[in-house]
Structure 1
Amino acid sequence: MTRSCTLWSDRLANALPRILINTPIMTSLYGFVKRLYLVFYPPAPEAPTESPLRFGVLGAARIAPIALIYPVKNHSDAVVKAIAARDQGRADAFAKKHGIPKAYGGPGAYQKLLDDPEIDVVYNPLPNGLHYEWTMKALAAGKHVLLEKPSADTAEETRKMFAFAQEKRLVLLEAFHYRFHPATRRLKEIVDSGEIGILTKIETSLAVPSGLIDDGNIRMVYDLGGGVMMDNGCYTLSMSRYLSGADPTKVISAKADILPKFPLVDIGGTATLAFPTPGGSTGPAEGLTATLDVHYRLPPRFGFLPQWPKVFARVTGTRGSVELNNFVGPWIYHQITIESSEEEGGPLQKRTEQRYGNLGWTTYRYQLEAFVDKLRGRDPEHWFDAQDSITNMEWIETIYKETGLGSRPPSTAKVPQATGT
Structure 2
Amino acid sequence: MLAFLSRIYYILNPPQTRTPTYDTLPGKPLNFGCLGAAKIAPAALIKPSRTHPEVVLYAVAARDAKRADEFAKKHGFLKSFGGLGGYQDMLDDPAVDVVYNPLPNGLHFEWTMKALAAGKHVLLEKPATCTAAEAAAIYALAKRKNLVVLEAFHYRFHPAIQRVKAIIDSGELGAIKRVEAALTAPEGTAPEGDIRWDYNLGGGSTMDPGCYTVNVLRYLAGCEPTSVLTAKAIPYSDRPEHKQVDRIFWATLAMENESIGEIHANLDEKKLWGIIPRMPKLSAVVECENGTVELFNFLIPHFYHSIRVHPRGKAARVEKAYSFGGAAKGEVWWTTYRYQLEAFVDQIQGRTPQTWINGEDTVANMKWIEVIYAKDGFGSRPASKYQPCAEDERTM
TM-score normalised by L of structure 2: 0.93
Deviation at 1:271, TM superposition (A): 0.5
Deviation at 1:44, TM superposition (A): 2.5
**308-317 or 355-364: bigger deviation:** 355-364
Aligned to 1:369: 342
Are residues 164 and 394 of structure 1, via their aligned partners in 2, closer, same or farther at CA, if it must alter by over 3 Å?
Answer: same
Q: Could you tell me whether the CA contact under 8 Å between 2:90 and 2:96 is conserved in 1?
A: yes
Deviation at 1:35, TM superposition (A): 1.9
Return the letter of the residue paired with 1:34.
S
- Aligned mates of 1:226, 1:255 — CA distance in 2: 17
The secondary structure found in structure 2 opposite 1:228 is coil
Deviation at 1:209, TM superposition (A): 1.9
Which one of 41, 47, 51 corresponds to residue 74 of structure 1?
51
CA offsets 1:98-154 (integer angstroms, 9 cap, x no match)? 111101111100001101111100000000000000000000000000000000000
Query: Is 2:263 aligned against 1:292?
Result: yes
Deviation at 1:266, TM superposition (A): 0.2
Are residues 49 and 403 of structure 1, via their aligned partners in 2, closer, same or farther at CA, if it must alter by over 3 Å?
Answer: farther
The secondary structure found in structure 2 opposite 1:348 is coil
TM-score normalised by L of structure 1: 0.87
Which one of 169, 194, 202 corresponds to residue 225 of structure 1?
202
Which one of 348, 351, 364 corresponds to residue 314 of structure 2?
348
- Aligned mates of 1:175, 1:208 — CA distance in 2: 19
Deviation at 1:32, TM superposition (A): 2.7
Return the letter of the residue paired with 1:48.
P
Q: Could you tell me whether the CA contact under 8 Å between 2:63 and 2:83 is conserved in 1?
A: yes
The secondary structure found in structure 1 opposite 2:244 is strand
- Aligned mates of 1:220, 1:48 — CA distance in 2: 44
Aligned to 2:16: 44
- Aligned mates of 1:94, 1:311 — CA distance in 2: 31
- Aligned mates of 1:67, 1:200 — CA distance in 2: 34
Aligned to 1:312: 283
Matches within 5 A, 1:267-306: 267-277=247-257, 287-306=258-277
Q: Point out where structure 2 has 5 or more consecutive residues left out of the alignment.
A: 23-27, 324-330
The secondary structure found in structure 2 opposite 1:32 is helix
Deviation at 1:46, TM superposition (A): 4.5
Aligned to 1:264: 244
Which one of 278, 288, 308 corresponds to residue 337 of structure 1?
308
- Aligned mates of 2:14, 2:275 — CA distance in 1: 38
Matches within 5 A, 1:3-402: 27=1, 30-46=2-18, 48=20, 50=22, 51-258=28-235, 259-261=237-239, 262-277=242-257, 287-341=258-312, 347-357=313-323, 358-402=331-375
Q: Could you tell me whether the CA contact under 8 Å between 2:215 and 2:365 is conserved in 1?
A: yes
Return the letter of the residue paired with 2:183.
L
CA offsets 1:59-85 (integer angstroms, 9 cap, x no match)? 000000100011011101111100000
Deviation at 1:418, TM superposition (A): 6.8
Return the letter of the residue paired with 2:100.
Y
RMSD: 1.4
- Aligned mates of 1:211, 1:117 — CA distance in 2: 41
- Aligned mates of 1:351, 1:415 — CA distance in 2: 54
Q: Could you tell me whether the CA contact under 8 Å between 1:251 and 1:399 is conserved in 2?
A: yes
Larger radius of gyration: 1
**159-168 or 202-211: bigger deviation:** 202-211
**353-362 or 41-50: bigger deviation:** 41-50
- Aligned mates of 2:393, 2:317 — CA distance in 1: 51
Q: Could you tell me whether the CA contact under 8 Å between 2:187 and 2:270 is conserved in 1?
A: yes
The secondary structure found in structure 2 opposite 1:291 is strand
Q: Could you tell me whether the CA contact under 8 Å between 2:208 and 2:267 is conserved in 1?
A: no
Deviation at 1:314, TM superposition (A): 0.5
- Aligned mates of 1:318, 1:121 — CA distance in 2: 45
Aligned to 1:18: none
Return the letter of the residue paired with 1:313.
A
| Number of aligned residue pairs | 378
Q: Could you tell me whether the CA contact under 8 Å between 1:183 and 1:354 is conserved in 2?
A: yes
Deviation at 1:215, TM superposition (A): 1.7
CA offsets 1:327-359 (integer angstroms, 9 cap, x no match)? 010011100001003xxxxx2320001111113
- Aligned mates of 2:183, 2:226 — CA distance in 1: 22
Q: Point out where structure 1 has 5 or more consecutive residues left out of the alignment.
A: 1-26, 278-286, 342-346
Deviation at 1:184, TM superposition (A): 0.7
Deviation at 1:214, TM superposition (A): 1.4
Deviation at 1:38, TM superposition (A): 1.5
Deviation at 1:360, TM superposition (A): 2.2
Aligned to 1:15: none
- Aligned mates of 2:198, 2:20 — CA distance in 1: 42
Aligned to 1:4: none
- Aligned mates of 2:367, 2:393 — CA distance in 1: 20
Return the letter of the residue paired with 1:348.
K
Deviation at 1:216, TM superposition (A): 1.2
- Aligned mates of 2:196, 2:183 — CA distance in 1: 15
- Aligned mates of 2:269, 2:75 — CA distance in 1: 34
- Aligned mates of 1:340, 1:323 — CA distance in 2: 12
